Amino acid sequence: MSKIKFLFLISVLVITFSVSLFLGPRIINPFELNGTDKEILLMIRLPRVIVATLMGMALGASGAVLQGILRNPLADPYILGISSGSALAATLGLLSGMYMFSNFSIPLTAFIGASIVSILVGLFGWKKGGLWPGRLLLAGIGLSFLFYAILMLIISISANEVTRRALLWIFGDLSIAEWSLIPYGFLFILAGLYICISRAKALNALMLGDDFAHSLGFSVHRERLLLFASVAIMTSASVSLGGTIGFIGLIIPHIVRFLAGADNKKLIPLSALCGGAFLCIADMIGRTIMSPAEIPSGIITAIIGSPYFLYLLRKKDVLST
Amino acid sequence: MFSVHNYPILELNNVSFSYERGNNFIYNLNFSAGNGEFIGFLGANGSGKSTILKLASGILKPSHGEIKLWGKSLQNYSNKDRAKLLCYLPQLLDINVPFTVRELVKMGLYPYDIPPLMTIEEAIALVGLQEKSESYITTLSGGERRRVFIAMILVQGAGLLLLDEPLANLDIKYQIELLRLLRELKEKKNISILMALHDINIALHFEKVLLIKDGTMLGMGNPETVLTGNLLSKAFDVNIEIRKHDSGRSYVSYEDTN
């Protein structure tokens, strides 16, 4: 992909970001801002659009990395059980009444839950001094089922308010976005992006197989551990910002691969950019078309993205990992 | 004193290896490969050919013994430095990632901060894939895929190539093409090549052959001395004879004992 195309994509993200700020249930004219507009813009729209961008970037990049290290086109950031772990932790936090103490408490609990699950998956996936793709995948699926079972058990026996809040967490809810969380989310997601973009060559080599990666001068287990850590950091941060939003981590990397190729030096940053822009648009549509009711962003991302993905699948003759 | 040609760039000294504790798969192996040599590893399925190549490339670690690359223990090289001297090509190339030919060949530059002499275009031209440089690897034939990976390891610039059954699953035409290409490279670039084989007829035309059975070496040397009916029968558990055409070329003949 040429620099011009890359700059074009950056421009699309910036435009999407700006449009998302001003469009919504109330259309704001940036040139004629009154007091209410300013308050909506600064206290509601801006944090929400930033959170959508950050989450989309984290999920797009994580999906690309995970499909590479697991060498599995069906991998998405939640396959490692991170969503179920964070949702369970958040629900336990809600049940214990922690949400009454501070706005931080539930996102923090979700982040801790996601981190614990990542470490558990890593431990189960570890054998003979390294992480093995097949073991990681199976550990993620196994733990996912276990945590979801516990979560469903808790929801089925708990009060309505806790159930409602827990469900919002499970299906993703960007309306909980607020300023206080953004610096932490930004820091973690930026750190994860930096790690995986700086290891893009190693990921290319790992996609050819461990023996190839070794032959090309990479320490296979060290590289896989670093990449896994970057996914765990980004996904945990994303979940703590606005719950679990499906589709982006699975499909965006495939769409980018169709358009720009499989080289991870391009694929990871482009998946991040497209993921960010896409979630911004999806969230803007979700909060606008049935206002004052909101449609969860995950539903919008699937409704817009799936037909385009299927169209590409028919048009292009390459199916990719 | 060694001549430059015979300098042992790879040495395996008393190397043993086991996949399961206490059960040696490779036992007390000793051999060396000189600069510019073209050596075929011959043995039946499961004899240990691939394991020896993986040991020599550092993918597997020996349980006993030492492996030296250019006189220095293989374990003492950093990953990047080793990759500049030694390159391993696995047997299975079932890669379904849509990298283009150019992207794949470029990966040969990964061990380097400053690119070595051979350019990506030169390497692609050497394996005759100029017109397919922007094609996806997933759209190429088995023979073309092998050539792409040969171009990649050429860009990598290592002086020692360890190739695990590069002729497997290739039509006879592609086998001949690939062998010719490797011989040319050996002559032009003085590259040393160690190649696992299972076809005795092809091994008969190598300069040097190493015959393996159950992880031990039955013989090493030129095919006339190593590939005898007696040793081959032992290696493959089939009655094998080496015969000669009127032209003087040797060929293998076997007897179905069932």
pLDDT tens readout for residues B192-203:
999 998 888 888
Let me know if residue B106 belongs to a domain. Answer: no
B219 touches chain A (CB under 8 A): no
Say which residue, B156 or A72, is predicted with more confidence: B156
Angle at B85 between CA B80 and CA B91, to 5 degrees: 90
Let me know if residue B134 belongs to a domain. Answer: no
Let me know if residue A37 belongs to a domain. Answer: no
Let me know if residue A26 belongs to a domain. Answer: no
Let me know if residue B132 belongs to a domain. Answer: no
- Evaluate if residue B207 carries a pLDDT over 90: no
Let me know if residue B122 belongs to a domain. Answer: no
Distance from CA of B82 to the nearest CA of A (A): 7
> Which residues does chain A have within 8 Å of residue B50's beta carbon, measured at their own beta carbons?
none
**Average confidence score pLDDT of chain B:** 86
- Evaluate if residue A303 carries a pLDDT over 80: yes
Distance from CA of B161 to the nearest CA of A (A): 10
Say which residue, B255 or A184, is predicted with more confidence: A184
Let me know if residue A131 belongs to a domain. Answer: yes
- Evaluate if residue B257 carries a pLDDT over 60: no
Give the pLDDT score at A315.
Answer: 64
- Among the partner-chain residues B57, B92, B98, the one whose CB lies closest to the CB of A320 is B98
pLDDT-based confidence at B174, cuts 50/70/90?
confident
**pLDDT over 90 percentage in chain A:** 31
Pick the range with the lowest mean pLDDT from A67-71, A136-140, A159-163, B199-203. A159-163
> Which residues does chain A have within 8 Å of residue B100's beta carbon, measured at their own beta carbons?
261
Let me know if residue B126 belongs to a domain. Answer: no
Start-end of H helices in A23-104 = 35-39, 46-69, 82-95
A321 touches chain B (CB under 8 A): yes
Give the pLDDT score at B248.
Answer: 75
pLDDT-based confidence at B26, cuts 50/70/90?
confident
Does the beta-carbon distance from A215 to B88 stay under 8 Å? yes
Say which residue, A318 or A255, is predicted with more confidence: A255
Give the pLDDT score at B258.
Answer: 53
Let me know if residue A298 belongs to a domain. Answer: yes
Let me know if residue A42 belongs to a domain. Answer: no
Which residues form the domain of A287? Answer: 50-315
Give the pLDDT score at A320.
Answer: 47
CB pairs under 8 A between A and B: 75
B130 touches chain A (CB under 8 A): no
Which residues form the domain of B57? Answer: 8-92+160-255
Does the beta-carbon distance from B88 to A201 stay under 8 Å? no
Does the beta-carbon distance from B97 to A207 stay under 8 Å? yes
Tens-digit pLDDT profile for residues B142-172: 888 888 998 998 899 888 999 999 888 777 8
What's the CATH code of the domain at A289?
1.10.3470.10
Distance from CA of B196 to the nearest CA of A (A): 16
Tens-digit pLDDT profile for residues B75-88: 999 999 999 999 99
Tens-digit pLDDT profile for residues B91-112: 877 787 889 999 999 999 999 9
Whether the bond between A292 and the residue before it is cis, its omega within 30 degrees of 0, is yes
What's the CATH code of the domain at B204?
3.40.50.300
**pLDDT over 70 percentage in chain B:** 95
- The DSSP string of B105-125 is HHGGGTT-SS--SS-HHHHHH
Instruction: Look at chain A and report how many structural domains it folds into.
Output: 1
pLDDT-based confidence at B205, cuts 50/70/90?
confident
- Among the partner-chain residues B79, B87, B98, the one whose CB lies closest to the CB of A218 is B79
| Gap between the Cα atoms of B166 and B146, Å rounded | 7
Mark residue B152 as left, alpha or beta (left: phi above 0; alpha: psi -120 to 50; beta: remaining).
alpha
Let me know if residue B180 belongs to a domain. Answer: yes
Let me know if residue A20 belongs to a domain. Answer: no
Instruction: Look at chain B and report how many structural domains it folds into.
Output: 1
Say which residue, A264 or B199, is predicted with more confidence: A264
Let me know if residue A127 belongs to a domain. Answer: yes
Let me know if residue A194 belongs to a domain. Answer: yes
Question: Please, how many CA atoms are within 13 Å of residue A319, restricted to the half-sphere of its CB?
Answer: 7
Most confident of A38-47, A172-181, A227-236: A227-236
Q: What are the tokens at A196?
A: 């995986």
Distance from CA of B160 to the nearest CA of A (A): 12
